[in-house]
Structures are given as structure tokens and as C-alpha cells.
Copies of this chain bind each other. A is one copy, B any other.
Amino acid sequence: MAASIRDVAREAGVSVGTVSNVLNRPEIVAAGTVARVTQAIEQLGFVRNDAARQLRAGRSTSFGLVVLDTRNPFFMDLAHGAQRRAIDDGYTVLMGGSDDSPQREHSILEMFEEHRVAGVLISPVDTDLTQLWRLRQAGIPVVLVDRGSSDRSFSSVSVDDVEGGRIAARHLLELGRRRIAFVGGPLGIKQVSDRVNGATSVVAETSGATLEVRETRALSVLEGRRIAEEIIALPADRRPDAVFAANDLLAMGVLQAFVMTGSLRVPEDIALIGYDDIDFASAAVVPITSVRQPAVEIGATAVGLLLSEAQAGADATREQIEFTPELVVRASTVGGA
């Protein structure tokens, strides 16, 4: 059906090798020949077959990106950064969302491996990283995004989540809040547990302060709403005076539930802080205080590491890059602001 390089060669009266050269290194082909071949390509509407090209080359010209949630603006920004950086170097980014499911993560990675991607960027759900080791062994560089590699065995681009947790908790404590509820999960996700730990450490140093963890099944708006309803249902004396949500989606869900039911005023009755600082956080009913992560930059940097690791081959040096999170104060914690 579709024209092949062979058809083009026949049409232009040259050999297939020459057509291939016109496609890939036109500078080594005589100008007249280039013209004739180009003309034939036009004529036949020839389009290169990527599968054949890759088969020959042995590796694809795409990177794979696995994120926790394709509908989370934070990850979309991250993907955007990755894509931009990749395009500059002639690469393409394939994205898959694991939706917090290890099985789904597994099958996405399997797909990437079958595709012989040039590298994998991943924000893992699965605590077990053996599949990633396997990938590397198969010659596919792996870079962790939005989470560090505790034993430095993988390159990574992350934000110091423990510090982020500390920043959030400290902010709430400085405002005089003492009964903090942490909303987030699954706790198996390192980013989440790091944030809890950071918060816990700060709370522990403050007398009279407590931190209660309410684990969610996902980092979504819906889960936020669910937990908020639980909180609303609590008797007033057992109710927290501040909520630290593991990400802005959860924070928005929490906020919606509080505002809609009109049961609790933010921040008067209960302060709220999120994480990520997605664009929508600032536009919320009550603009949400958040701990900012530079999503676009993380994505771009990660692709950079991938490129250099791909270049260097098997014995590349692993590099851990860590950004510092930044507090963005808004009305959800400081009423007047």
C-alpha cells in the first residue's frame, strides 16, 4: 500500500542506498540526484517507516515517562518540561499514567521496554525497584523524577520532600496551629511519606503540637473531599485546626468540601496548606497556600540527565539533583493575605 524506499529508488532511477542517503545525509549526495530523489518522494507520497528504521538502529528515538497521574497538572507541567527539552535533541516523549497502581506501572514499563525506548523517566509507585534495575541491565537508562534515590543507585531529579514537609508544618505552627492533620497517600509513595516525616519532625519539637495522619487511596480531588467530610463529622473538640495536604489536588478537594458545606471557615476555623503549587491553587475559592515545586524545570533537567547517561553508556555516573521547595503563602493559611 504505502510506498517504500525501494519504490522511490525505482522512480528516481537510483539505488536504495542513495535514497537512504538523501534522507539521512543529503550533503554527501550530488545536488542533481538529491533533486531527482526528492521529486520522486513527493510524487509517491513516500513516508519513512519508523519501525524499520528503529529495527535497524536497534533503539528507539523516544523516552518513556511514567507519572503517577496524567490528570494532575503538576505532572503535566513536568511532562511539558521534559518534552520541550527532548524535542531539542530530536527525541520524543511517550507518557503513561500509573494511576497509583503498581500493576499498571509494570505494564507501562514493559511496553516501553518492548519499544526499546532510549530511556525512562519515572515517578514510581512501586516500592520495589527491581524492574528498574532490569531495565538498566537491558541498557536502558533510568532517571527518577520527583523523588530521590535514597541509596544513590539511580540518577534522580527531585525536590527535598522532607524539607518541604518541614516548611509546611513550620508555617502552620508559626501561625499558632497545634492540631495538624496530614491528608495524603498511599503512604507507600516516597514523596508522601517524606513529607509526612518532615512535618512530623517539626511537630515533635513543638510542645503541645500533634500531627494526625489520614491516609488516602489516591492523590485526587475526590479523595480530598472524602477525608474532609470525615473531618467535618468529627466533634469540635477533636477536630484539627490545620490541614496539610500531600498535594494541591487533595487540598482543593478538602477546600471544596469545607466551603460547600459551609461547616468550617478557611483559614479561621481551619488552615489549609497544599503541595506542588499548581496554577489552579492560586485561583481557588480561597487561594491555597502551597509548597512550590518547579515542575517544568524538573522535567527538563531529568531529560538532560537521561541524555547524558544515554551518551555515557553503561558506566555512566549517577547524578542526584535536588531542588529546594519554596513556600507560597496565600489566603488559605493567612486570612488577610
Binding site for B on A (CB under 8 A): 1-2, 45, 47-55, 60, 70-71, 73, 76-77, 79-80, 92, 94-95, 110-111, 113-116, 134, 137-139, 221, 252, 255-256, 279-280, 282-287
Q: Chain B contacts of A53 at CB under 8 A?
A: 114
Q: Is the CB of A76 within 8 A of B70?
A: yes
Considering only CB atoms, which chain B residue lies closest to A108 in the complex?
Answer: B92
- A-side interface mostly: helix
Q: How many copies of the chain does the oligomer comprise?
A: 2
User: In the bound complex, what is the Cα–Cα distance between A134 and B47 (angstroms)?
Assistant: 11
10 contacts between A and B (CB under 8 A): A2-B116, A49-B116, A50-B116, A70-B80, A71-B73, A76-B76, A221-B283, A252-B280, A256-B282, A280-B280
Known contacts A45-B134, A95-B95; is A252 also within 8 Å of B283 by CB? yes
Q: Is the CB of B73 within 8 A of A138?
A: no
User: In the bound complex, what is the Cα–Cα distance between A77 and B280 (angstroms)?
Assistant: 16
Considering only CB atoms, which chain B residue lies closest to A107 in the complex?
Answer: B87
Q: Is the CB of A47 within 8 A of B113?
A: yes
Q: Is the CB of B60 within 8 A of A51?
A: yes
Closest chain-B Cβ to A327's Cβ sits at a distance in Å of: 20
Known contacts A280-B283, A283-B252; is A49 also within 8 Å of B114 by CB? yes
Residue A51 contacts which of B2, B55, B71, B110 (CB distance < 8 angstroms)? B55
Q: Is the CB of B284 within 8 A of A283?
A: yes
Residue in A54, A73, A137, A280 whose Cβ sees the most chain B Cβ within 10 Å: A280
Known contacts A50-B114, A70-B76, A70-B80; is A139 also within 8 Å of B1 by CB? yes
Q: Is the CB of B138 within 8 A of A45?
A: yes
Closest chain-B Cβ to A186's Cβ sits at a distance in Å of: 20
